[in-house]
Structure 1
Amino acid sequence: MKQDVDSAKAVMRELFAPTPLQHNLFLSDKYGARIFLKREDLSPVRSYKIRGAFNFFRKALAADDPAERFVCASAGNHAQGFAFVCRHFKKPGVVFMPVTTPPQKIDKTKAFGGDFIDVRLHGDIFDECYAAAKAHSKETGALMVPPFDHPDIIEGQATVAAEILDQLPGDANPDLFIIPVGGGGLSAGMTGYLGGRIGNESFVFCEPEGAPSLKESLTAGKRIKLDQVDNFVDGAAVAEIGSRNFDALKSFAADQVMLIAENAVCVTISELLNVEGVVLEPAGALAIAALEEMDRQSIAGKTVIVIVSGGNFDFERLPDVKERAMRHSGLKKYFILRMAQRPGALRDFLNMLGPEDDIARFEYLKKSARNFGSVLIGIETKRPENFDALTGAFDDAGLRYEDITDNEVLASLII
Structure 2
Amino acid sequence: MAGQEKEDGFVAAVGEASAALRELFAETPLQENVYLSKKTGARVFLKREDLTPVRSYKLRGAFNFFRKAIAGGLRAKHFVCASAGNHAQGFAYVCRHFNRHGVVFMPVTTPQQKIDKTRIFGGEFVEIRLVGDFFDDCYRAAQKFAVEGSGVMVPPFDHPDIIEGQATVAHEIAAQMRREAGLRVEDSLVILPVGGGGLASGVTRYLRDSGQAGEFAFAEPAGAGSLRQALAQDRPVRLAKVDNFVDGAAVAEIGAEPFSLLRAFDASAVHLVPENRLCATMIEMLNIEGIVLEPAGALAIDTLKDFSPEALAGRTVVAVVSGGNFDFERLPDVKERALRFEGLKKYFIFRFPQRPGALRDFLDLLGPDDDITRFEYLKKSARNFGSVLIGIETRRRDNFDILTQRFNAAGWAYQDITDNDTIAGLII
**Under TM normalisation by the shorter chain, which class is it?**
over 0.9
Q: Quote the offset at 1:173 in angstroms.
A: 3.1
Give TM-score, length-normalised by structure 2: 0.95
1:310 maps to which residue? 323
Inter-partner Cα distance in structure 2 for 1:65 and 1:188: 26
Greater Cα offset, 110-119 or 389-398: 389-398
| Identity percentage of aligned residues | 64
1:68 offset after TM fit, Å? 4.8
Residue 385 in structure 1 maps to residue 403 in structure 2: no
Tell me how far apart the structure 2 counterparts of residues 287 and 62 of structure 1 sit (CA, whole Å): 35
- Alpha-carbon deviation of 1:373? 1.8
Letter in 2 for 1:42: L
Q: Indicate yes or no: 2:98 matched with 1:85.
A: no
Aligned match for 1:136, one of 145, 157, 161: 145
Structure 2 CA distance, aligned partners of 1:141 and 1:325?
47
Q: Which amino acid is 2:72 matched to?
A: A
2:63 pairs, out of 45, 51, 54, with 54
1:73 aligns with 2:86: no
* Counterpart code for 2:134: I
**Residue 32 of structure 2 contacts residue 44 of structure 2 at CA under 8 Å; is this kept in 1?**
yes
Secondary structure, counterpart of 1:210 in structure 2: helix
**Cα distance, 1:326 vs structure 2:** 0.4
Cα displacement (A) at 1:33: 0.8
Specify the SS of the correspondent of 1:195: helix
1:226 maps to 239
- What are structure 2's unaligned runs of at least 5 residues? 1-9
For the 8 Å contact 2:78–2:146, the answer to whether it is kept is no
Q: Distance in 1 between matches of 2:29 and 2:77?
A: 33
CA shift, 1:370, in A, is 2.2
Aligned pair partner of 1:30 in 36, 39, 47: 39
Corresponding letter in the other structure for 2:139: Y
Aligned to 1:163: 172
1:410 aligns with 2:419: no
Cα distance in structure 2, aligned partners of 1:295 and 1:131: 44
Match of 1:153 in 2: 162
Find the aligned partners of 1:40 and 1:170 in 2 and give their Cα distance: 18
Alignment of 1:213-292 (within 5 A): 213-292=226-305
Distance 1:331 1:170, change over 3 A: closer
Shift in Å, 1:241: 0.5
Amino acid paired to 1:319: P
Q: CA deviation at 1:19?
A: 0.6
Alpha-carbon distance in 2 for matches of 1:397, 1:304: 51
* Code of the aligned partner of 1:382: R
1:116 equivalent to 2:128? Answer no
CA shift at 1:371, angstroms?
Answer: 2.0
Equivalent position of 2:413 in the other structure = 400
> 2:345 pairs with 328, 332, 357, which one?
332
In the aligned structure 2, how far is the partner of 1:345 from the partner of 1:144? 64
Counting only pairs closer than 5 Å after superposition, residues 38-49 of structure 1 correspond to structure 2 as 38-49=47-58
In structure 2, how many angstroms separate the alpha carbons of the residues matched to 1:88 and 1:276? 33
Mapped to 1, the partners of 2:132 and 2:378 lie a distance apart of 37
- Structure 1 residue 199: deviation in Å? 4.3
Deviation at 1:344, TM superposition (A): 2.0
Worse-superposed segment, 367-376 or 157-166: 367-376
C-alpha change, 1:165 and 1:358, in structure 2 (3 Å) is: same
1:173, 1:303 within 8 Å by CA — same for their partners in 2? no
1:162-241 superposed matches below 5 A: 162-168=171-177, 169-174=180-185, 175-195=188-208, 197-199=211-213, 202-241=215-254
Farther off after superposition, 286-295 or 84-93:
286-295
In structure 1, runs of 5+ residues without a counterpart are none
Structure 2 residue corresponding to 1:8, chosen from 13, 17, 27: 17
Give the Cα–Cα distance (whole angstroms) in 2 for the partners of residues 177 and 372 of structure 1.
Answer: 57
**Aligned residue runs from structure 1 range 96-115, under 5 A:** 96-115=105-124
Deviation at 1:351, TM superposition (A): 1.2
Counterpart amino acid of residue 349 in structure 2: I
Deviation string, structure 1 residues 172-203 (Cα, Å, up to 9, x no partner):
23420010000000000000000053446x00
CA distance in 2, matches of 1:293, 1:304: 13
Q: Deviations over 1:310-359 (max 9, x none)?
A: 00011110110110110011000000111222222211111111111000
Alpha-carbon distance in structure 1 between the residues aligned to 2:270 and 2:237 = 15
Say whether the 8 Å CA contact 1:233–1:262 is kept in structure 2.
Answer: yes
Residue aligned with 1:241, SS: coil
The count of residues paired between Structure 1 and Structure 2 equals: 414
Contact 2:220 / 2:272 at 8 angstroms: preserved in 1?
Answer: yes
AA aligned opposite 1:353: L
CA positional deviation for 1:170: 4.3
Deviation string 1:192-241 (CA, Å, 9 cap, x unpaired) is 000053446x0000000000100001001111011110000000000000
| Aligned CA-pair RMSD | 1.1
Aligned twin of 2:5: none
The Cα of 1:64 is off from its aligned counterpart by 3.5
